[in-house]
Structure 1
Amino acid sequence: MPVEFPVPARGAALPALTGAGPGEFTEAWLANRRLSAHTRDAYRRDVAGWLAWCAARELNPLRANFLDVNSYGRQLEDPTARGGRPLSPATVARKLSALSSWYDFLVKLRAVDANPVSGADRPHVDRDHSATVGLTPEEVDALLAAADADTGPAAARNRAAVALLADLGLRVGELVSLDVTDLGAERGHRSVRFVGKGGKPRRRALTPSTTYAVDAYLAERAAAQGVTVPELTGPLLVATTGTRLDRHSVFRLVRRLARAAGLPAWAQLSPHSLRHAFATTARAEGVPLEDVQDAMGHADPRTTRRYDRDRHNLDRDPAYVIWAARARRRG
């Protein structure tokens, strides 16, 4: 018979977890970490996938060892086991990383003696490479132009969404989580506040073009509801039904506009492509790495460097700077 685990009780205190099943542990683990709603859902799915794999094999996950984790990882990488859809090494590594964090939590609670993922064989991930399809500055301009030319009842909202992605390099989860009340003004800047990855509170400045797009959208939305802009509440970006715009709609929007703009790789683009373009363009324009890192909310500058698609361009070789400085001294 498959192993069955009780449904987690939300809000349960950690001391009450003695003798609890993996489901309760998962909710307690997530509640113990500062995570965005999107990351929380992703981690929950990652652990649920492992628990389902264990249940199918009548394996108690609290008694699993590194050999079991290795078998699970191999299945994730095997296209025949997934209906011809293998996961990338980065995705498998992410799933195992979430699982390792879950087991670390269980070790601290003394629910297990050791973390079985720590001894497992994780796939190698090239930290200097990203599978996301990037965009050149000219392609971003074309995408924004397509948004400006867009028509229909959601055109103003679409322009605001794409402007926020392009000018701020937001993650799609950060974009769709924005509320009207997150907009503000600080020391002469129009700004937006939000919770970034890892539950970190963030704030960014809005460019004049993004401010114009957002204000135009809110003015149109307020007029349609028969209220003033200050009276608007709820999500910043809403669907035609009035509910919060979801990430899947933003994916479809980016690809539709990219296709309208005539971008060759439109079918492979995603909102994250605009995030990569933000980092690449900022670095190419001379923005210091640490400023780009702060703007993107990266804990590690190596992550920011990976987003910079132009980092290996020979035009940026520091040898030229050294040579030019030497030439000035001799001049």
Structure 2
Amino acid sequence: MFVVPRQGGELAVGGPAEQVTEVWLANRRLSEHTRAAYRRDVSAWLAWCSERGADPLRASFLEVNAYARGLEARELAPSTVARKLSGLSSWYDFLMKIRAVDTNPVAGADRPFVSRDHSATLGLAADEVDALIERARAAGTRHHAVMTILADLGLRVGELVGLDLGDVGWERGHRTVRFVGKGGKQRRRALTPAASAALDAYLQVRGDGDGPLFMTSTGGRLDRHAVFRLLRRLAAEAGIAEADRLSPHSLRHAFATAARAEGVALEDVQDAMGHADPRTTRRYDRDRHNLDRDPAYMIAAARARRAGA
């Protein structure tokens, strides 16, 4: 039974803290990856408080600031520190709702600035994506299907590994995959002919049994860490520079850049990627500052056409 902790009462790692955290997470539409990250973030904060004899139910923004500066001292990226504080702030918002605390100490804390115009993710050029997919083709049907779907659809790795065989289907002549996106939103995407062909080749090996779409050799679900390692290995074998810095998110960035370079409207790319804010989509577009895309050229070309008409 869940018991609301009283203000000023003991709240440490384990016991009531875990109960509070699980109830909080149960009330949020989150992916399992995000839930796990939030659990770690709250546990780290509670451990920090315990080491210093601080009561998390009486913490002020001063303690949160000290905690944040400690994270920065570990040379964590500003975006990582901001994400950890954001999760902690949501946890305190929940504590306010159940009247365990009166205020949210994270709300007044000094959070690191994170530019919406920059991402630390290392992107991939179009020819590098092509080389990666070709290397994956030679490495096996599952590897080829995984890399092709990530590249052609720009899915998050959690969305990919969360697919079950039953999520693959047909709609109005389109081969599709259905999945739960960020924020618990039900989404669907169309598979490209290349992705569909790669998937069919893999399914001939996998078989038609129910369960995870992408399976390990032992029949378990392929996890994000395996995809992470696979991408780096294939990139290194393909001769891609800085292969050890790549991640599945690099293909997501490459998708956004390629789509915009081919003239796909920003709002369509935003919808495809499941972004709530178009500024996020723009940040993924690594070519957005390319002067070749300066609208001045299109305006001048239109003026020239009118003059020659």
Q: Assess same fold via TM > 0.5.
A: yes
Corresponding residue SS for 1:126:
coil
Determine the structure 1 residue equivalent to 2:132: 143
Where does structure 2 lack aligned partners over 5 or more consecutive residues? none
Q: Is 1:313 matched with 2:308?
A: no
SS at match of 1:132: coil
Give 1:33-48 correspondences, 5 Å limit: 33-48=28-43
Shift of 1:108: 1.5
The 2-side partners of 1:92 and 1:166 are apart by 28
Partner residue in 2 for 1:181: 166
Asked if structure 2 preserves the Cα contact closer than 8 Å seen for 1:179 and 1:233, the reply is yes
Matching residue of 2:57 = 62
Per the alignment, in what secondary structure is the counterpart of residue 149 of structure 1? Answer: helix
State the distance in 1 between where 2:99 and 2:305 align.
Answer: 66
The yes-or-no answer on 1:117 pairing with 2:106 is yes
Contact (CA 8 Å) 1:39, 1:197: kept in 2 or not?
Answer: no
Check whether the contact 2:4–2:100 (CA below 8 A) recurs between aligned residues. no
1:104 paired with 2:99, answer no
| TM-score of the aligned structures, taking structure 2 as reference length | 0.95
- Which runs of structure 2 are paired with 1:177-216 in the superposition (5 Å)? 177-216=162-201
- 1:32 aligned partner: 27
State the alpha-carbon separation in 1 of the partners of residues 43 and 270 from structure 2.
32
Q: Work out the CA distance in 2 between the residues paired with 1:173 and 1:221.
A: 20
Which residue of the other structure, out of 81, 84, 96, is the alignment partner of 1:95?
84
Q: Does 1:76 align with 2:71?
A: yes
8 Å Cα contact 1:169-1:275 kept in structure 2: yes
Give the Å deviation of 1:117. Answer: 0.3
Alignment check: 8 A CA contact 1:143 1:261 kept: yes
Structure 1 counterpart of 2:4: 17
Query: In structure 2, what is the equivalent of residue 267 of structure 1?
Result: 244
Shift of 1:23: 2.2
The equivalent residue for 2:48 is 53
Q: What letter is aligned with 1:197?
A: K
1:120-156 C-alpha deviation (Å, 9 max, x unpaired): 0011111111011100111100101111122xxxx11
SS in structure 1 at match of 2:169: strand
Match of 1:83 in 2: none
Q: 1:164 aligns with which of 149, 156, 166?
A: 149
Q: Does the 8 Å CA contact 1:17/1:24 hold for their aligned counterparts?
A: no
| 1:241 paired residue number | 218
Secondary structure of the equivalent of 2:42?
Answer: helix
Output the CA distance in 1 between the equivalents of 2:4 and 2:108.
26
Matching residue's letter, 1:56: E
Deviations along 1:202-250, one digit per CA (max 9) or x if unpaired, are 100001111111111111122xxxxxx3xx1111111111111111110
Residue aligned with 1:302, SS: helix
CA distance in 2, matches of 1:156, 1:64: 53
Q: State the secondary structure of the residue aligned to 1:61.
A: coil
What's the TM-score once normalised by structure 1's chain length? 0.89
The SS at the match of 1:52 is: helix
CA–CA separation in structure 2 for the residues paired with 1:31 and 1:273: 31
The C-alpha deviation readout for 1:77-112, integer Å capped at 9, x for no partner, is 113xxxxxx211100000000001111111111110
**Separation in structure 2 between the aligned mates of residue 23 and residue 163 of structure 1, nearest angstrom:** 40
- After superposition, the Cα gap between the structure-2 partners of 1:213 and 1:238, relative to the gap in structure 1 and judged at 3 Å, is same
User: How far has the Cα of 1:183 moved from its partner?
Assistant: 0.6
Q: Determine the C-alpha separation between the residues in 2 that align with 1:22 and 1:241.
A: 36
Unaligned runs of 5+ in 1: 1-8, 80-85, 223-228
- Secondary structure in 2 matching 1:128: coil
CA contact (8 A) 1:54 1:60 kept: yes
Shift of 1:18: 5.3
Corresponding residue for residue 4 of structure 1: none
Maintained 8 Å contact 1:135/1:276: yes
**2:309 pairs with 1:322:** no
Cα offset, 1:254, TM superposition = 0.5
Deviation at 1:42, TM superposition (A): 1.0
1 CA distance for matches of 2:43 and 2:158? 21
Aligned to 2:261: 284
The one-letter amino acid paired with 2:211 is G
TM superposition shift of 1:44: 1.2
